[in-house]
Structure 1
Amino acid sequence: MQISTSQLYDRSTTLMQQLTAKADKLQTQISTDKKISTASDDAVAYQKLASIKRSNANDTAYGANIKVVQSLLAQSDSTLGSVESQLQKAAELATQANNDTLNAADRKVIGDQLTAIVQDLVGLANTKDVRGQPLFGGSSGDTAVAQAADGSVSFTGTGEPSAIPVGDGVDVHATNSAQRVFGGISTSSGTSDVFAIISKLAAALTSNTDASAAAADAGNSLKTALTQIGAARGSVGARGARLDLETARLTDVAATREADRSSLEDTDTAAAITELQKTMTVLSATQASFTKLSSLSLFNYLN
């Protein structure tokens, strides 16, 4: 088999081009510490890396949401704690008012204190959250409650607050609606809200009408209200615990995903340097051989 001069040149040139390209690629991998930069480097690995990046972006968003929800839950617990304190004061005043030895003036003083508690509860119900929105405003985002000129209180926010996604298929309600927190209290005459319960007692004490009976009835209702607030705080704590678990899960998943990414994308610097040295040695030898062969002529052989 005869090999023409052009074939010799072409094969040598092609080989040197391949070796040079390989050396360039290895040098790039070493300098960037990345062995995959385009899909042509490794199509399968490139797709896996793209998937990992998307998952990382999603989990970054989930992590940010978790921080927001944790902040809201902390604020909810603190505010509910203040509500609980006000209701305890109201319950103590109801017990104090359930005394036939009190005169009208004494009852009016207690009634005024209860009216002040209603004002405080309205303020707590309309607390703004860290985002500047009503903490208990419900899904409508309106002010939670409104107080009319006659002192009566009505709920203005409607629906339950929207859940916030904190993981794939995992949503958490960061707050409760005002109706859930302050309303739905069982009383002797049906269901009511804490504002109406306390206001009714305050009116009975101020007018000195059936004060003891009103105090006893309100006292029982306020015990139920305190139980409801306690349950709400317990729910907040449970949701906080769920977020802790989700945070731990995201951390574990991120570590596993990073290990996968590193194995696919990061350069094994020691191995790459060794391979580069081998490639440069072969390239140098090939260049030297090509130079010698290309300088040969028929006269060299004749001499």
Structure 2
Amino acid sequence: MESINRTRPNDSIQIQSELSALIGKTQETIASGKSFSRPSEAPSSWLEISSLGRKAAIEDSWLNNIGRARIMAQQAESSLDAIANGVTRARELVILANNETISPQDRAVIAIELQGLRDQFNQLTQAQDSYGGNLFHAGDPIQMRIDTNVLVTPSPNLQTVAQSINVAGGPLDLDTIMAEMISAVGTGTAADRAQQLERAGSMITHFSSLIASQGVMVNRLDQQEDRLQRSQLTSTERQSVLESTDVAEAVTRFQSLLVNLEAAQRLYAKSASTSLIQLIG
């Protein structure tokens, strides 16, 4: 059978040791501003913080995609706008060429300007983006992920832009339309030139629609970026709540632990000076 004196001091010492460790830990949380330093100290908070970290990493990749997509979308919008302006000018030239009062020499000059527009269109449709690829590439449209189930196409492919313009009689490519327009103005008949006026109108409709779609795309990217940034701000605030020390609560706990430690020390000192007979009797 263990004596009371052998057991009591060990218990008191253990209590004092535990209280001292808690006091040291509380001092550390107050000084560092962190409510815990190891996962084992707050498992549920640590798991939530880890989940927030993974979420932030995924959202960062989506934000990077949005940045790249916006650059491509804006480049495409600018190029399409330049083509649309050129197409509008081409229509003005065709209207001018349809005037029967102008001379063949004047129509030849108009044809030269139309050829310049044709060259410009070819240059714009073959332009490269900021990342070294074709802005309007051949094949399937490039898609970028900006959310879990959201893919966007920052710029239309070459077929959409220049190879499937809806004109009377079926789709035609931009270069063919321009080549036939130049021929009709330079050497064609009045009926040929009248047909080109209709085609010029079809081109204006085509590129106006593409520009509108690009505007919608840029707005969508802006809205998604704003949503992700707000989500990240909320996650950061939540992580701060989980990690940060409640200073007022910690100070109160610290003072309470000091009082308990002092009480344990007094009790131990009293127990150590008490005789076995006094404890039994």
TM-score by length of 2: 0.89
1:1-303 paired onto structure 2 within 5 Å: 4-137=4-137, 157-161=138-142, 163-206=143-186, 208-210=187-189, 212-294=190-272
CA contact (8 A) 1:198 1:218 kept: no
Distance 1:19 1:65 in 2: 52
| Secondary structure in structure 2 of the residue aligned to 1:191 | strand
Greater RCO, CA 8 A, separation 6+: 2
Report the Cα distance in structure 2 between the residues aligned to 1:217 and 1:159, rounded to whole angstroms. 32
Distance in 2 of aligned mates of 1:246 and 1:190 = 37
> Which residue identity does 2:208 align to in structure 1?
G
RMSD value over aligned CA atoms?
2.5
Deviations 1:88-134 (A, max 9, x none): 11111111111333333222211111111111111111222222322
Distance 2:206 2:185 in 1: 25
Aligned mates of 2:276, 2:13 — CA distance in 1: 22
Please give the alpha-carbon distance, in whole angstroms, between the structure 2 residues aligned to 1:270 and 1:165.
45
Which range is displaced more, 6-15 or 108-117?
Answer: 6-15
- What is the letter of the counterpart of residue 171 of structure 2? T
Q: State the SS of the aligned residue for 2:166.
A: strand
Structure 1 CA distance for aligned equivalents of residues 105 and 251 of structure 2? 94
Q: Kindly tell me: are residues 3 and 274 of structure 1, through their superposed partners in 2, closer, same or farther at Cα, counting changes over 3 Å?
A: farther
Q: Structure 2: 5+ residue runs without aligned partners?
A: none
114-123 vs 98-107, which moves further: 98-107
Matched position secondary structure for 1:40? helix
Identity %: 25
Structure 1 position 300, deviation (Å): 11
1:32 is aligned with what amino acid?
Answer: S
Q: Cα offset for 1:292?
A: 4.8
The 1:237–1:49 alpha-carbon spacing in structure 2 relative to 1, beyond 3 Å, is same
Aligned length: 279
Cα contact 2:111–2:183 (8 A) shared by 1 = yes
1-structure distance, mates of 2:206, 2:167: 13
Q: Distance between the aligned counterparts of 1:294 and 1:199, measured in 2? A: 109
In structure 2, C-alpha distance between the alignment counterparts of 1:225 and 1:204, rounded to whole Å: 16
Q: Structure 1, unaligned stretches of length 5 or more?
A: 138-156
**TM-score if structure 1 supplies the norm length?**
0.83
Higher helix proportion (structure 1 or 2)? 2
Shift in CA distance, 4/196, structure 1 to aligned 2, threshold 3 Å? same
